[in-house]
């Protein structure tokens, strides 16, 4: 099993009821420190687990309250959007404070071809306050209220506005009310298991600003090149390869070492382009596997095109499917690796899973991210039960999480367990 840790230069302290550790930046051009704190949630999840060896091990780690170290196993998915508006400075800072060793900026472009951090090119109407501003007049599709049959809707894209205009917006919790008859009602669509407490300061960032922030925070970076929602080439001469090249160039011009960057894309051709055009960055490029939308069955290799060996032959080193594709259940209803996961292991592909802590309460089976193991999912503690299988049996090298404290806690616990039993089998 392969693990990546980033703990050098850390000074540990222990506060009452909470482990903390101050870590000097890992980038030689950075200065300052970051304080890692987990808060209560990981310990709540441990207490909610079903009885068994995994719970006993995690309970022992929780009782020790050792200083927590940043871990590359813990990846901040859009920052920490369980409670903070996604892809905002505040969300990114929260992820780093919770020990995420890698933080994600999803990358798309504006009308003037500047790169910005957004999950989708056309999500401004649900993730920002654009509909409350004059920029709503520039949206691809204006707000349309619920009329009794058709849901309320709007479509506002980064390509509708310039970077300067984008920077005037404020990030909010992702969500919309489909039965809204007014803009205010439409924007009030946050799921009840998230919170509005931190939406007052949702600072949006350009891609270049995210790089500067991540360097300051001392974290590694995983930019995802988002699929364009406008025809390419854009404005006649801006091609997909231009777009992919521009994203990598921002890191090169900022002087960021390739080993600190994990470029991602659902488009395999983007990954192959980086492998050929910028191999230093391409070696850590992540192929996000979303082929379930086109019929991939993780238990049936005949539905995988291309297969694992072919992906490895292309030069792909890291594959990242959703959580559920990596696991299934056995006859005793235990969570075990899927055929997909076993095949990736055999092909020599590293795996990253997405996304933990994105499903809300798990009492009713966990929904989309847990669809392959609903019979084994009935309480919030099953978050850690799944994470334990992903780490120790599937062998993932990292897990995206909407609340990185959970994955940071688990990674530190695994480190403790290995330190105590250096020759233990995994």
Give the residue extent of every domain in the chain: 10-420
> Which three-class secondary structure state does DSSP give residue 192?
coil
Residue 421, pLDDT score: 46
Q: Mind listing the pLDDT tens digit for each residue in 319-340? A: 999 999 999 999 999 999 999 9
Closest-CA residue to 387 (of 78, 45, 36): 45
Q: Mind listing the pLDDT tens digit for each residue in 177-203? A: 999 999 999 999 999 999 999 988 899
Band of pLDDT at residue 65, cut at 50, 70 and 90: confident
Distance between first and last Cα of the chain: 8
- Calculate mean pLDDT across residues 299-324: 98
pLDDT at 9 over 80: no
Q: How far apart are CA 170 and CA 186, in angstroms?
A: 16
Q: How far apart are CA 317 and CA 315, in angstroms?
A: 6
Contact 140, 132 (CB under 8 A): no
On average, the pLDDT of the chain sits at: 91
From residue 268, how far is each of 150, 289, 302, 308 by CA, in Å? 36, 9, 19, 13
pLDDT at 27 over 80: no
For the whole prediction, is pTM greater than 0.85?
yes
Q: Mind listing the pLDDT tens digit for each residue in 120-148? A: 999 999 999 999 999 999 999 999 999 99
pLDDT at 7 over 70: no
- Calculate mean pLDDT across residues 143-159: 98
Band of pLDDT at residue 23, cut at 50, 70 and 90: very low
Q: How far apart are CA 116 and CA 341, in angstroms?
A: 33
pLDDT at 207 over 60: yes
Residue 418, pLDDT score: 64
pLDDT at 288 over 60: yes
Residue 415, pLDDT score: 81
Decide the pairing of beta strands 335-337 and 327-329. antiparallel
Closest-CA residue to 371 (of 275, 419, 362, 311): 362
Residue 4, pLDDT score: 38
Q: Which CATH architecture has domain 10-420?
A: Alpha-Beta Barrel (3.20)
Helix-strand-coil split of the chain, %, nearest 5: 40, 20, 40
Q: Mind listing the pLDDT tens digit for each residue in 251-285? A: 999 999 999 999 999 999 999 999 999 999 999 99
Contact 59, 46 (CB under 8 A): yes
Band of pLDDT at residue 423, cut at 50, 70 and 90: very low
Residue 159, pLDDT score: 98
- Calculate mean pLDDT across residues 218-237: 98
Which residue, chain included where needed, has tokens 């409350």? 132
Residue 224, pLDDT score: 98
Band of pLDDT at residue 424, cut at 50, 70 and 90: very low
pLDDT at 222 over 80: yes
Residue 390, pLDDT score: 98
Q: Mind listing the pLDDT tens digit for each residue in 390-404? A: 999 999 999 999 999
Q: How far apart are CA 369 and CA 328, in angstroms?
A: 12
Per-residue DSSP letters for 94-112?
HHHHTTEEEEEEEEEE-TT
- Calculate mean pLDDT across residues 412-426: 61
């Amino acid at each position: 099993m392969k693990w990546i840790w980033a703990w050098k230069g850390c000074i540990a302290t222990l506060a009452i009821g909470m482990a903390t550790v101050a870590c000097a930046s890992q980038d030689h051009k950075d200065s300052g420190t970051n304080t890692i704190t987990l808060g209560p949630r990981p310990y709540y999840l441990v207490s909610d687990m079903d009885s068994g060896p995994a719970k006993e091990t995690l309970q022992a780690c929780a009782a020790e309250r050792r200083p927590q170290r940043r871990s590359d196993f813990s990846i901040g998915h859009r920052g920490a959007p369980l409670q903070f508006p996604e892809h905002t400075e505040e969300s990114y800072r929260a992820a780093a404070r919770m020990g995420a060793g890698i933080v994600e900026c999803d990358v798309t472009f504006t009308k003037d071809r500047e790169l910005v951090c957004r999950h989708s090119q056309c999500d401004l109407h649900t993730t920002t306050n654009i509909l409350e501003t004059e920029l709503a007049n520039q949206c691809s599709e204006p707000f349309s209220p619920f009329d009794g049959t058709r849901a309320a809707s709007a479509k506002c894209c980064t390509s509708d506005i310039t970077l300067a205009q984008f920077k005037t917006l404020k990030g909010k919790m992702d969500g919309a009310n489909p039965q809204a008859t007014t803009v205010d009602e439409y924007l009030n669509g946050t799921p009840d298991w998230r919170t509005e407490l931190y939406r007052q300061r949702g600072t949006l960032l350009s891609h270049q600003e995210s790089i500067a922030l991540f360097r300051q925070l001392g974290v590694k970076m995983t930019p995802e090149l988002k699929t364009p929602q406008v025809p390419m080439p854009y404005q006649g001469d801006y091609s997909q390869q231009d777009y992919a090249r521009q994203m990598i160039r921002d890191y090169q011009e900022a002087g960021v070492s390739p080993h600190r960057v994990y470029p991602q894309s659902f488009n395999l051709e983007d990954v192959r382009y980086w492998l050929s055009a910028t191999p230093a960055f391409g070696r850590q490029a992540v192929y996000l596997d979303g082929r379930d939308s086109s019929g991939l069955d993780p238990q049936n290799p005949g539905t995988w095109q291309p297969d694992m060996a072919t992906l490895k032959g292309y030069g792909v080193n890291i594959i990242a499917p959703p959580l559920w594709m990596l696991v299934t259940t056995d006859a005793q209803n235990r969570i075990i690796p899927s055929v997909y996961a076993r095949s990736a292991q055999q092909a020599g592909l590293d795996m990253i899973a997405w996304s933990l802590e994105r499903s809300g309460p798990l009492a009713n089976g966990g929904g989309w991210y847990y669809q392959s193991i609903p019979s084994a999912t009935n309480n919030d503690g099953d978050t850690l039960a799944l994470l334990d299988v992903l780490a120790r049996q599937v062998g993932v090298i990292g897990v995206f999480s909407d609340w990185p404290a959970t994955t940071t806690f688990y990674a530190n616990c695994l480190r403790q367990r290995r330190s105590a039993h250096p020759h233990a089998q995994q």
